[in-house]
Chains A and B, each alone.
Chain A
Amino acid sequence: MPADSDTARARTHGGALLASELRVLFRRWRTWAMLAALASIPVLMAVVVRLSSEPPGPGEGPPFLDQVTNNGMFVAITALVLTTPLFLPLTVAVVSGDTIAGEASLGTLRYLLVAPAGRVRLLLVKYLSTVAFCLAASGTVLLTGWVIGAVLFGTGEATLLSGDTIGVGDAVVRSLLVGAHVTICMLGLAAVGLFISTLTDAGVGAMAAVAVLTIVAQVLGQLDQLAWLHPWLFTHHWLAFADLLREPVVWTSFTENALLQAGYVAFFGALAHGRFGTKDVLS
């Protein structure tokens, strides 16, 4: 039966759609505009600190800002801290909200489906490309932070929260850890965005909804009356990277966050599948 050999061939080229999706994502002007905006954060921050007459004192401004002048590597960490609550999730909202709804509003969704891309495969590819964007986004902040930090402040020793002093190599590793944490923080949001994107044919609407949700979750996280809810909010561990800057590293919040995000990915991934698997595509 030719169907068997067809299936075998289908397996061989199943990854072509992901490659195409990544090409489309990174060929968009919008994607590069967002990455450029993210890159401007560490640059702006480093330049402002460099130009100010007196160095920031301990505990002043964003966390670790006082360390920036000692070790340029901390520019990357501080910039990640600055972008995590709003800027980074905003860009993830744009990309994840656009996944299905954007294709629907362009009308290309119907052509992908009759190609046939397969609904599950398309959903998976869309999620993976959003993950790739999350990586690219935090990677951009890290990389520009390292470069501008090294240029403006050099690579001296820095003091950790535990009082220990670390050198350049260790600072790079620590900032990579923070970058990994921040990326993982975005994975749950990306899954929520994917689900919302299956609910509408208006890409912009889905993006806005995801962005609003990010802010609502953080506001709820500020209300002590809702303390019982806090551990379940996908934003709960977003700023919990202090433990990664101790000696030795305390992994509790890192792993708790990873588990929570995995739960969000599983739950909203299943919802997205349930919705998109049976949805009438009428756009």
Chain B
Amino acid sequence: MSETATAADEADPHAADLAIATTGLTKRFGHQIAVNAIDLAVPRGSVFGFLGPNGSGKTTTIRVLLGLAAATSGNARLLGNDVPTELAEALPRVGALIEGPAFYPFLSGADNLRRLDSADARADPATRDARVARALDRVGLTHAARKRARAYSLGMKQRLGIAAALLTPRDLLVLDEPTNGLDPQGTREVRSLIRAVAAEGTTVFVSSHLLAEVEQICTHAAVMHVGSLVAQGSLDDLRGTGARVVRVETPDGDRTVAEFARLGLDAAQAGPALRPRAGEVVVEAPLPDDGPAAEDLVAALVAAGVRVRGFDVARPSLEDRFVALTGEGFDVAR
């Protein structure tokens, strides 16, 4: 084990700091490429948002990382162990929720957890009941422990699935769409659970097609788009790579565009959908970091006779970045 770790360290000095590291990881289903040569780097201790629209390859990537499916090509390491050859070493330290929870409907919630716990040969049977009780308590299901899983609501099943992922102390928690099917209250609970787990030092790798649901808890993120990784890094990095944008609300659209052009800005009127009030338009222009100061822009516009009714300079939101990267919005409303 130590030899392979050293070899990995030589190949990539940061490999030891990564909970998940892939190079050129690819998975094909027949002719279809579900995951296309992705290089994931998930730092230890991070809460890593794995984002992308439905069908972009998130679940498939997770299946390959956990050894459920074989990669077509490329390499992956999980907690420093090669996938799939050394996976047995890593998996006891990984908790996972993969494409929704799944249970034996005829067993109680607690018995379902006992079953999964006994599947892990390293879990001591003597302390099994204590582990199960603790996991149920963490997700607030103690009262439903003896209820058959078929009688659980969708939200309870989701929480039972998370309880199963938390049976033993984990170094890595992989949660695939953990807020699917949850109401806003349930979503908040999952978020605070993730925060608590992360505070204990566990790396959390959480996938979602809903940016808004994970944005607040992530330290890092990666964005998938039709099987390819189109961006990854810390949230600040991801936000920062977008240039600032200046936005003006005014009835004098053409005059604003002309004035911005004179100042060297590449301005354009936004479409009618963004019109704030009747007779007004929004003019947007990328603002380079070495461009004119905001107050000078306002002064120039006013001097040119533009009726400025709204003015704003901002970095694009993550949402804007993702729309730009993936060419489609996340269903924020859902």
Q: Which residues of A contact B (CB under 8 A)?
A: 1, 3, 6, 9-11, 13-14, 16-17, 19-20, 24, 27-29, 106-108, 110-118, 121-122, 278, 280-282
For the complex, what is the distance from the CA of A24 to the CA of B103, rounded to whole Å? 12
Q: Is the CB of A27 within 8 A of B68?
A: no
User: Whose C-beta in chain A lies nearest to the C-beta of B65?
Assistant: A114
The answer to whether the Cβ of B121 comes within 8 Å of any Cβ in the partner chain is yes
* B115 cross-chain contacts in A, Cβ below 8 A: 20, 24
Q: Can you list 12 contacts pairing A with B, beta carbon distance less than 8 Å? A: A1-B1, A13-B121, A13-B125, A16-B121, A17-B119, A19-B118, A111-B116, A114-B66, A114-B91, A114-B98, A116-B87, A116-B91
Q: Which of B2, B68, B118 contacts A282 (CB 8 A)?
A: B68
For the complex, would chain B's binding face be called helix, strand, loop or mixed by DSSP majority? loop
B98 smallest CB distance to A (angstroms): 5
Q: Is the CB of A3 within 8 A of B1?
A: yes
The answer to whether the Cβ of B262 comes within 8 Å of any Cβ in the partner chain is no
The answer to whether the Cβ of B25 comes within 8 Å of any Cβ in the partner chain is no
For the complex, what is the distance from the CA of A10 to the CA of B122, rounded to whole Å? 5
Q: Is the CB of B68 within 8 A of A110?
A: yes
User: Whose C-beta in chain B lies nearest to the C-beta of A9?
Assistant: B122
Q: Which residues of B contact A (CB under 8 A)?
A: 1-2, 63, 66-70, 87-89, 91-92, 94, 96, 98-107, 114-125, 164
How many contacting A-B pairs (Cβ < 8 A)? 103
* B120 cross-chain contacts in A, Cβ below 8 A: 115-117
Q: Is the CB of B122 within 8 A of A280?
A: no
Q: Which of A3, A112, A118 contacts B116 (CB 8 A)?
A: A112
For the complex, what is the distance from the CA of A108 to the CA of B125, rounded to whole Å? 20
Q: Which of B69, B119, B124 contacts A116 (CB 8 A)?
A: B119
Decide yes or no: A10 and B121 within 8 Å by CB, A110-B68, A111-B164, A118-B88 being known contacts: yes
Q: Is the CB of A280 within 8 A of B91?
A: no
Q: Which of A1, A10, A107, A121 contacts B102 (CB 8 A)?
A: A107
For the complex, what is the distance from the CA of A1 to the CA of B1, rounded to whole Å? 9
For the complex, what is the distance from the CA of A113 to the CA of B121, rounded to whole Å? 12
Q: Is the CB of A280 within 8 A of B102?
A: no
For the complex, what is the distance from the CA of A188 to the CA of B70, rounded to whole Å? 30
Q: Is the CB of B107 within 8 A of A114?
A: no
Q: Which of A6, A11, A107, A117 contacts B119 (CB 8 A)?
A: A117
A26 smallest CB distance to B (angstroms): 12
Q: Is the CB of A281 within 8 A of B63?
A: yes
* A1 cross-chain contacts in B, Cβ below 8 A: 1-2
Decide yes or no: A281 and B68 within 8 Å by CB, A13-B125, A107-B102, A115-B119 being known contacts: yes
A158 smallest CB distance to B (angstroms): 43
For the complex, what is the distance from the CA of A111 to the CA of B119, rounded to whole Å? 9
A204 smallest CB distance to B (angstroms): 15
Decide yes or no: A29 and B106 within 8 Å by CB, A110-B98, A114-B66 being known contacts: yes
B116 smallest CB distance to A (angstroms): 6
* B119 cross-chain contacts in A, Cβ below 8 A: 17, 20, 111-112, 115-117, 122
